[in-house]
Structure 1
Amino acid sequence: MLFYMDNFLLSVSRLQDAINQYLSHPDNAIIRDGMIHRFEFALSLSWKAAKDYLIHSDISCNTDFPKQVIKTAYTYHLIDDEKIWMDMLDSTKYTSHTFDDSILSDLAADISIHFFPALNRLADRFRFSG
């Protein structure tokens, strides 16, 4: 059973909604912070869904470390850009412990421009793998 799949797909959809709100109101810190929080949910669910998918596909993925799951997903062509995924994972070290508006604004831009497309490509992969 692919336990995390549906929640990941829903989280990507909700992240898209949050990005749209943020792009309409880029100076609203509450909307920006909410978008970042939705990104954190989507990212956490993404590697867990990827791990489930790999295991369901009979690919060994015996780790609970996100970076190792991402490396395995890249090796088996589940994701297409390992660097952007590692950047996403690294970005989360700033999200819980900073209130610096410039750092958070930079992260919001990265989410909407670089990170969301990668998450959405994985979601599409899951949607169309049927």
Structure 2
Amino acid sequence: MEKAVASLALALKQPKDEFIRDAVIQRFEYTYELCWKMVRRQLIEDQGEASVVMLSRRELFRMAAEYGLIDNPQNWITYHRARNETSHIYDESKAEEVYRVAVSFLPDAEKLKEELVQRNAD
């Protein structure tokens, strides 16, 4: 997950053009996927599989916020919706919208990464 977050950060530092935007969107896709899976894995480890496996994504993010993995579950629901849009990006306005979401996602992904590192260092 660390490499994915760093890769997204690097892409977002580049001067934006159509190719960079598309690279950011792709990096957002796989970084988001890794993040939610790591959230799920950490919650299973902390709370037990029975408490987590049947949760919807929305419920998963609420639980993650409750246990301090993330700050705002609504942000993560927004990221999830944007991730779902990435497979349907056929026009500039949708691509721009997902790019903007990716920009706001990066600090939350970095915070999650640090939280996971801290919890697993013990």
Shorter-chain TM-score tier: 0.7 to 0.9
Q: What CA RMSD, in Å, does the superposition of the two structures yield over aligned residues?
A: 1.7
TM-score (normalised: structure 1): 0.81
More helix by share: 2
What residue in structure 1 maps to residue 28 of structure 2?
Answer: 39
Give the superposition deviation at 1:110: 2.4
- Percent identity, please: 26
TM-score (normalised: structure 2): 0.85
Deviation larger for 52-61 or 39-48: 52-61
What residue in structure 1 maps to residue 115 of structure 2?
Answer: 125
Give the superposition deviation at 1:128: 2.1
On the 8 A contact 2:58/2:73 being kept in 1, the answer is no
Between the aligned partners of 2:116 and 2:36, the Cα distance in structure 1 is 12
Number of residue pairs matched by the alignment = 118
Question: Over residues 32-87 of structure 1, what are the superposed CA-to-partner deviations in whole Å (9 max), with x where a residue is unaligned?
Answer: 11111110101111111011111222343123743332222122221111111010
Structural mapping, 1:62-101, within 5 Å:
62-63=53-54, 65-101=56-92
Between the aligned partners of 2:70 and 2:19, the Cα distance in structure 1 is 31
Between the aligned partners of 2:60 and 2:9, the Cα distance in structure 1 is 24
What residue in structure 2 maps to residue 12 of structure 1?
Answer: 5
Gaps of 5+ in 1: 1-7
